[in-house]
Chains A and B, each alone.
Chain A
């Protein structure tokens, strides 16, 4: 039994034209048993900044709370919203502090720069190594399946609607090949002027 697949769960983020999208499955399970189907793994850290935390569920909750704490203090001191790239470094720092007893999550960050609205996505490993890409990032128990779907479906400069369609199909078809993921899905499309949140109709097995 692997700690990273004890609860199961996945997150994808994709880059679009002047927008980003981030999506997750909604299962909370204990090994093979599904306990609930409303356990979201994406958390809002700012009006245009979201973080996905797939992995061990207890750490999903704890890291989300600790990150929000650090972000709130930053906002109070600096009196401005945090940039996504800076947030990535905050996440990296928090994880590396626990280098020899880590949090069992592999986060995904997606957002737009608060001033310039430049889109940004990145992922990190469980000890904080950041990886910035300009196409897509995936993390979770179905990561191999998600990589296959993203490589096939993603193309550059997709608009918000097409991006949402692409990320939904990539996530849903990947988790349908994973026994510990799925049971619902939620997608966020982040644009300069609005954030659209949609709950997807998914297989519940």
Chain B
């Protein structure tokens, strides 16, 4: 109960991308996905947020946690990668981007609240997914889930994932997983945004309304 406070609750709350985010690697690239809800307290400040942020032409990151922290960190990483690209005359490696994220998230771990999934494609190692959770560790995984909504789908993703999936199978996997997380998590919702990153480039997709899969609705 908020007593003696004339302003609405959301005016004193930090902006958070509560979130469900996910990335899956396949032969030839990655599929990254996220929900689109940003909250201040329980008010939904933005219901069509884009949490898939480009840091380089073939490298995207999925952001969860404090909106301000993740935007600031990804802006800085994006700058570093752009500088690197000018110096080396080559597109940056995904592992480089991931390590830049890790460096900042670890060094400022006491001040930041940021959970990031960095994924993309490069010529050397193909599609890769790196998970950089709160605290600043960095680990490569065949697929990664993150954000507050991810807690509801650990069982689902573990039971459904298999190696050697095609691009379409990966897209379905991400869509179904995020739909389930959005259903259960109050801090996740809105539309499902996807980005498919391959040698050909980045294809963006949005899944809205009745196209979002529906499961048991208890």
Contact = CB atoms under 8 A, between A and B. Distances in A.
A33 B217 contact: no
Contact of B184 (A3, A31, A34): A34
Interface string B1-15: 110000011000000
A29 B44 contact: no
B177 interface: no
A144 B8 contact: yes
A168 interface: no
Chain B facing A: main interface SS: loop
B185 A2 contact: no
B186 A34 contact: yes
A176 B44 contact: yes
B131 interface: no
Contacts of A145: 43
Interface stretch (B63-71, B132-140, B187-195): B187-195
B141 interface: no
Interface in A3-23: 3-5, 8
A180 interface: yes
Contacts of A205: 35, 37, 182-183, 188-190
Contacts of A75: none
A51 to B, nearest CB: 21
A32 B1 contact: no
B218 A179 contact: no
Interface residues on B, range: 20 to 34
B185 A178 contact: no
A3 B35 CA distance: 27
A29 B186 contact: yes
Contacts of A176: 44, 47
A68 interface: no
Contacts of A4: 1
B217 A37 contact: yes
Chain A facing B: main interface SS: loop
- Which of A2, A180, A204 has the most chain B CB atoms closer than 10 A to its own CB? A204
B180 to A, nearest CB: 11
Contacts of A2: 1-2, 9
A38 B217 CA distance: 9
- Which of B9, B44, B187 has the most chain A CB atoms closer than 10 A to its own CB? B44
Contacts of B217: 37, 184, 204
Contact of B42 (A3, A104, A179, A203): A179
Contacts of B214: 204
B42 A34 contact: no
Interface string A165-205: 00000000000111110001000000000000000000111
Contact of A180 (B8, B42, B47, B218): B42
A31 B186 CA distance: 8
A145 to B, nearest CB: 8
A35 to B, nearest CB: 8
B39 interface: yes
A179 B148 contact: no
A60 interface: no
- Which of A31, A32, A38, A144 has the most chain B CB atoms closer than 10 A to its own CB? A32
A47 to B, nearest CB: 30
Given A32-B186, A37-B218, A144-B43, 5 more contacts: A32-B18, A33-B185, A177-B43, A179-B43, A205-B190
